[in-house]
Amino acid sequence: MNKYYKAFIKIKNHKILNDNDFWGGPYVKLYDELPKELDIIKELVDKTKKMKPILKVHKGSYDPISFFHCPICDFNDVEDINYCPNCGQSLECVKHEKDNL
């Protein structure tokens, strides 16, 4: 669990005073008040977790060609980069070993 995810969980579970009953009224979780906004933030936090690209073989008219694809959006040719240029997902930097195909 990275620092961004820890911060998200703390915010998600944070309780605030219900505006309808200011003087000692019930507390509600922030997530109950802002679910859509917190889901968007969680999506951004999840992108910081490095994921391994997926190697896929494409059968062409001659020899098969292989590309690393983003595990989130399936964007191809994410070899030797730290993030997907299409969706921004953080990726483990992998090198293509052409001799092993």
pLDDT digits (tens, 9 = 90+) for 47-89: 888 999 999 888 876 777 888 999 999 998 888 899 999 999 9
Q: How many helices (H) and strands (E) does the chain have?
A: 3, 4
pLDDT digits (tens, 9 = 90+) for 9-55: 887 777 665 555 555 556 666 666 677 777 888 888 888 889 999 99
pTM for the complete prediction? 0.61
Q: Tell me how crowded residue 9 is: count the other CB atoms within 10 A of its CB.
A: 13
